[in-house]
Amino acid sequence: MSEFPYVSGAAVLTGAASGIGEATAKGLAMRGMDMAIIDKDAAPLEALAAGLRANYPKLTISTHVVDLSEAAPIAALPEEVRRSHERVSMLINNAGVALGGTFEDVSLADIEFVMAVNFWAAVRMSKAFMPDLRAADSALMINISSLFGLIGTPGQTAYTASKFAIRGFSESLRTEVSRFGIKVLQVHPGGIKTNVANNARLGANLTRGDVDQVRSSFNKVLTMDPRVAAEQILNAVAAGKNRLVITKEAKALDLLARLLPAKHGEIIAKEMLRRTGVKL
């Protein structure tokens, strides 16, 4: 394996304790990167760090338990990370939460929480670590959006809005920071087999039966192993790409949305009903 880019500094990775984040952390360690791994769940985060340190004793792995829905802990992170890492050359905004239910099913507080984690946390992390990225010889920011940052999806208004926001933020920021030698890779995963559906917030107006049906329906379309997704992301980094869509289904739906911008939502709703039995 040729030398992985950005190994001159550490990677800062949010949402590291499970799913794509955990798989990415393991892939980065295999490629020789020091890391500051971040999550709100301390136990799985420390377990991941212990495994990485045992398997890659030459690497520096620091852990940071942070609730990314709050601004103050994010602002304090760079100083905390610098205690363990001299340089930061990569920021991966991976942490995210889901929210099930139609716009009428969910509360404004639920929508604000989803935006706080999925959008504002990435913005705040980017602002906090921008001086470190600018100081690096070359640097990269990876923002994990979603298939739902490419298509408007019924039953996912809040989540879709947050992921479209990440897409727009990434596309605008890419041009702004290119003059500083910073690259931006936006990633749009499709159905990755994580706990995002099981851990999702559900709208206050949904019944218990609705909750179970929504979770079950989305678990049916989450099929790709997170390790496969993480490898695609890291291969895209090595190739210098700035945009990555993961899974064949996601690529097909991205094309559908571009070909039929006004009709794809109706088509997707019908397909979801056929595949899962849930009417959106």
- Give the catalytic positions in this structure: 159
Q: Could you give the CA distance from residue 117 to residue 162 in angstroms, rounded to a whole number?
A: 9
As a whole number of angstroms, the distance between CA 137 and CA 135 comes to 7
Q: Quickly list H helices, the chain.
A: 19-30, 42-55, 71-82, 108-115, 121-135, 157-177, 208-220, 226-239, 248-259, 264-276
Tokens 């397909």 belong to residue: 271
Please compute, for residue 10, the number of CA atoms within 13 A of its CA located in the half-sphere on the CB side.
Answer: 23
Beta-bridge partners for 245: 188
Task: Give Cα 154 distance to the centre of its chain.
Answer: 21
Q: What does R_g of the chain's alpha carbons equal in angstroms?
A: 18
- Cα distance between residue 218 and residue 89, in whole Å: 35
CA distance 136 to 83: 17
What SS3 class is residue 92?
strand
